[in-house]
Structure formats: C-alpha cells, structure tokens
Structure 1
C-alpha cells in the first residue's frame, strides 16, 4: 500500500498524477484529504499551521484500514506540505521553538494565497499565550509510524522547520524530486535539509525550469513532469516495498 498526502490547500483528488502510476504498478493507494487543509471540506487555520497534525491523519487512516485487513508494507508519498507529512511518518520532527517564533511574528510567515489572513485567524481562535506555547510541545513529538517502510517526496515543504537531528535518525529509504525553478518550496530552504540530513535519502531535480505549480496547475509550463515523477515514484516503491 502507498498513502498519498496532498499539498497545502489541495485534496486527495488532486493527486491523481501520483496515485495513477502507483495503481498502475499494482499498489493499493489511499489519497486522503487532510482536515482543515483541503479545498473539498474547507479550510481552518490549524489545518495550515498545525502541520504536525497531518502525519496523525495518516496514522488514523492506516489504523482504520488495518482493522479491515492486514496492510503489508506501507509507503508514504507526498507533495509540498505532503512531502513533510511523509517524512514525519518516518521520524522527521518540527522544532517547536521555530513554530513559536512564527506565531509570535518573530519569524515572518510566507504568504498563503489559499488563506489570506491566516495567522490572524489562528490567533483569533488560539491567543498567543503560555497555554498555546505549551500546546506546541506536541509539534516536536515523534510521529513516526513503523508500518511506513519507504518515502517519496515531491517538492517537499517545511524543511527549514525540521530538526536536522531527527532527519539524521531516519533509517528507511527516501527519494526526493524538486523543481529547479520552484519559488514556493525552494531547493535551498525546503528540499536541501531533507536531502543532506537524511542518511538514506537520494534525489534529483525534476528539471531546471520546473515550478512548484507545474505539479497542480491546470496549464503547467511542463505538462509532463508530474506524470514522469509519478512513474518514478512507482518504480521507487516497486524496489522497496515489493
């Protein structure tokens, strides 16, 4: 089985470019909608900023499916914020102190076109006080799921918020693809921490002119890249799960 995690504000249905090749390779595929962070059910500020809840979504789904029948080896694949989600399932942990700096405004929050006024909306629901500071401790917890045996990341996000020490402890195979013209999840900020700190990681650029939105736009500059990367993901999981 391979579980697929969508990017910020997307949905499981948007990930057909990745799910399709995986199904074609014989995998059982589950593409979930992350609560509060998908355009099907609607947005909540926690869905965008409480990123550590996403790997818990996946574990919840795997628990439910495991009650139906044995899962066998599981892979996790994700795009953008889904790339972080997949990595968190094998041990990546965000640093609570960095998240706190974002919430207090000490570190600027990048613009989120899907949710204008995101930080203000979160503060309205959860005032920035000692209670919310303690709640962030959950962000640094170990959210790994031992059922996940391999990870494929596409243009992963949140790399700058993840502890290098947690990445150094990852032991399952990880493969990464990124766009050379990605300004949403730039290689240096978001991909490099995963690639350089995970000892089992390998990867390569999907192309020097590939942008972040080439993986979801209706009219991408490179219309073939998402399906090409989807095929590479299927080949990766065939090597490591079958």
Structure 2
C-alpha cells in the first residue's frame, strides 16, 4: 500500500512514517506545501499537519494548518483515503459527568483560547462534508512517547525532570488528562485509514489520570518531587468514550501509570526500575 503522511516531520508524523514503513508500506513525506502533491496519486493520506501547545502564540499559522491548507489539498489532490488528525481537546466544554463520544454536540464560544478547538472543528467539518466515505477524522487525545514536544504538558514535565529533577505544576493535583501511547496510536491510525467503517473516531485511553496520580507515581519511581503553585486551577476533561474503536478494531490501550517507567527511560529521566512494579 502507498501512504502519504502530511506533517511527517512532527511527533505523531515521525512515528507514523516509521511504523508504516516497518509494515512494508511505501510512504511519501512531502514538504509542508502543495509542491509535488497536486495531480499525484497520494494513496492513503494521513493529515498530521497541526500545532500543539504553541497555538496561542501562532494563531494565523494554526488556522492555516488546520483549515486553509487542508481545504486546498482536499479539493486538488487525488487519494484513496484521507485521515485528518484532530484532537479530543474539542470536548473541553462538555459536561464532565458523561463520557464524550463521537456524536456529541460541542458548544464552542469564539475567542483566543478556543481558536485551537474551532479550527480543528472546521477542519473536521470540511472532511465530513466530503461525500467520499473514505475521508475520515481521528480525534487524538494527549499522545505520549519518545520525542514528545516540550510544548505539551507531559513533554514539559519530562523536560523539567530531566534537567532539574523536579517540576512545578501550575494546576491543582485534581486536574487531569487522558494519555495514550504513540506506539498504540499508530497501528490504530493505519487500521482506520485502510478499513474504517465510520467517519469519526476517538483515539484515546478512555481513562483520566490526575496530576496527583501522575506525580505520586513519578515520585515513587524517581524520588523526584512536584510542587503545586498556590491557587492552581483545576482543569479536567470529560472521559473520552473509545467504544467505537474498541468494537471495530479491538483497541485496548494501556494506562500511562502502568507504562510510565518505559516512558521515563525514553525521555532520558533516571528512575529505579526495581520500583516499577
């Protein structure tokens, strides 16, 4: 099979390219532009172009990546399937008491903090407006693994632990996120691209890990401590419903807390492996 990974130089894209080539696929990684892709047979496209934690500093680049470039390529490129990588961050405004599934109605108010969500939802809408059922969307949760960006919360934590052996957290211990391992994400994205029956999928662990749980585990493995800023806000998200991916693909992701030792090693953080029980 032929794949084209757009945004193949980013964190998710790099792992995708390595995995797909390891599976025997031919994988093209074009430059982040229309050069060389118009009129070409792109095969199965995975659109991994996007911004992460730096979207507030780069609002125009965010919209360009999530919407404008996407719109041009969807109109002008030839492909067998198209998978747009979105984010479960779009569920931020939903009720915390109910799991967030793919059919949820998502209220979003315009503003600088909602620019990321609005642009991702616009990108999703462009894809889902295409009558071609092979144009799909995957909403990714907080993906972790070797090479994670320091612009992300978990990436910044690993960077602080590696350099300073401690971390200061600006949110309360009750804040939490859903984390899913990159090594579990990339096979699922391949499967969705090749044989997904639905147009939209959640790609997450389906579990919330609080900061308190995360840093207690880190302290037990490394002895490194975490400080919480006074008055830190509690930020949580709804639990992400992954039953669609579970039912169709048998997706059974691990809990970050169970794989944390290997992740610390991959990030160059010292820890006592004998305590990883």
Larger proportion of strand: 2
**How high is the TM-score relative to the length of structure 1?**
0.38
Higher RCO (CA 8 Å, separation ≥ 6 residues): 1
Larger proportion of helix: 1
**How high is the TM-score relative to the length of structure 2?**
0.35
